[in-house]
Amino acid sequence: MTSFIIAPRPSEPSGRDRISHLSLAQMVQDVLTTMLELPHESFQGSPETIAPNQLMAAVRISGSWQATLQIYAPEKLARHIACAMFAQAADVLDDEDVLDAFGEVVNVIGGNVKGMIDQDCTLSLPCVGAAQPDPTPTSLTIRYDVCGTLLTVELIQA
Amino acid sequence: MKILIVDDSKAMRMIVCRTLKQTDFSGFTVIEAENGIDALNKIASESPDLVLSDWNMPEMKGIDLLKRVRDSGNNVRFGFITSESSLETKALAHESGADFLVTKPFTAGSMQAALDPILT
């Protein structure tokens, strides 16, 4: 697991709409339901409601189809996700466990995206760190209210 | 039965282990490795009966681990548990000697279905 600060990426127009909002939402729901077993519901709020100083995790799909998948959430939710994955209380998990779990979430969703594209592509290892979310609504964006906290998933095709 | 779980994510290793315990299989012990090189060492020293490996890992990817294992003449039962679910990935896994591929996120049911043919 690599941990570092991830600079926000400027948005770029999508070239091919291989992944629909619906299909990406289904992948995220599968992770929240099957892997994490966390209650969640779709969130339709505006980007302005996303707080700064959140954790971000990202994977890059490279090859004949290219995209970056990134997720971000407050540290509180990332820790909640880690508790679900480790099946342990928050006070026994350290920061590395939280980064590991958050990175695995984006890794699973990214792998599913790559599988749907089904082209000659490679998936990077997940990177996790602190990031300021890009306030510009630019790409395929999905938000879920997970345990009362916002999880944002963005797919940037480029 | 000794099962080697190979994944660079400690969280995912725990999920795989927990899910295995939710299947109908019992009487197994679990050992862990965090990448392909670590796994090669554990395979040599622990002689597991089954290897459950992630695909995308640092140091050595799961597919390279499988090729190294098979090239050494080891026919240990080997399955991938990975988010990489493309047809290309599945074909490469099969051609390289994998017994099955389970896609993340998985359930105890999907794990059971993958293991049934080789463990029963």
Rounded to 5°, the CA angle A20-A26-A27 comes to: 95
- Structural domain boundaries, residue A38: 18-157
Question: Residue B41 is part of a domain; what is its CATH number?
Answer: 3.40.50.2300
In this structure, is residue A106 part of a structural domain?
Answer: yes
Q: A115 lies in a domain? A: yes
For B19-49, write each residue's pLDDT tens digit.
999 999 999 999 999 999 999 999 999 999 9
**pLDDT tens digits along A69-118:** 999 999 999 999 999 999 999 999 999 999 999 999 999 999 999 998 87
In a domain, residue A122? The reply is yes
**What ipTM was predicted for this assembly?**
0.92
Instruction: Kindly report the CATH number assigned to the domain that includes residue A34.
Output: 3.40.1550.10
Q: Which of residues 93-112 of B touch A (CB under 8 A)?
A: 103-107
Calpha distance A142→A44 (Å, rounded): 9
Length of chain A equals: 158
How are beta strands B2-6 and B29-33 bridged, if at all? parallel
Pick A123's closest partner by Cβ from B9, B15, B84: B84
**What's the number of domains chain A is made of?**
1
Q: Are B16 and B5 in contact (CB under 8 A)?
A: yes
**What is the structure's pLDDT at A23?**
93
Q: The domain containing residue B20 runs over which residues? A: 2-119
Within a domain: A7: no
Domain count, chain B: 1
CB distance B86–A118 less than 8 Å? yes
Q: Is residue A5 part of a domain?
A: no
